[in-house]
């Protein structure tokens, strides 16, 4: 498993706005260390320094996200997930694609997760609605890499 020191930001310029670094604090406990600008815009909040329990207000969505982090950490393997978010009714609001990459200081235990999140919005209004008001969502792909 790579470590945080193995990441060279100069080689990641195109994806940096879509990046999050998340500290593993303990079982089911995670804290946002760094959040890229595109993630801040999409989420409607800069949650840098906050734990997921504080930053993610919706119980169902928080459980979903923590489950993804838990799987990445417990398996010490990259994980890919895609979800669709819906407006009231059946209209798709946004399509979220996320890659979770475990990082380790000792090569055996994940102590940080490097996350790349790309969000495709249906329209500008959907972009303005942010994730602060979580809409119904459905995971459509999950794959351990």
The pLDDT tens digits along the chain (145 residues) read 999 999 998 999 999 999 999 999 999 999 999 999 999 988 888 999 999 999 988 888 899 999 999 999 999 999 999 998 887 666 778 889 999 999 999 999 999 999 999 988 776 666 666 555 566 788 889 999 8
* HSE of 12, CA atoms in CB hemisphere, 13 A: 14
Q: What pLDDT does 145 receive? A: 83
R_g over Cα of the chain: 15
Q: What pLDDT does 131 receive? A: 55
Q: Which helix (H) or strand (E) covers residue 125, if one does?
A: helix 124-129
Q: What pLDDT does 124 receive? A: 66
* Ordered structural domains, the chain, with CATH: 15-144 (3.30.450.20)
Q: What is the DSSP letter of 14?
A: T
Q: What pLDDT does 133 receive? A: 57
Q: What pLDDT does 120 receive? A: 85
Q: What pLDDT does 91 receive? A: 77
Give SS3 for 47: coil
Does residue 95 contact residue 2 with C-beta atoms inside 8 Å? no
Q: What pLDDT does 16 receive? A: 96
Q: Which helix (H) or strand (E) covers residue 139, if one does?
A: strand 137-144
């Amino acid at each position: 498993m790579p470590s945080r020191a193995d990441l060279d930001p100069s080689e990641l310029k195109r994806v940096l706005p879509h990046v999050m670094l998340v500290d593993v604090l303990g079982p089911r406990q995670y804290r946002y260390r760094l959040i890229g600008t595109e993630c801040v815009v999409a989420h409607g909040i800069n949650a840098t320094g906050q734990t997921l329990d504080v930053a993610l207000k919706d119980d169902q969505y928080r459980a979903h996200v923590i489950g993804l982090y838990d799987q990445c950490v417990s398996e010490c393997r990259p994980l890919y997930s895609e979800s669709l978010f819906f407006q009231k009714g059946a209209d798709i609001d946004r399509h979220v694609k996320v890659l979770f990459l475990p990082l380790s200081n000792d090569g055996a235990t994940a102590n940080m997760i490097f996350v790349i999140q790309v969000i495709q919005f249906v329209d500008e209004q959907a972009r303005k609605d942010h994730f602060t008001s979580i809409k119904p969502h459905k995971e459509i792909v999950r794959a351990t890499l």
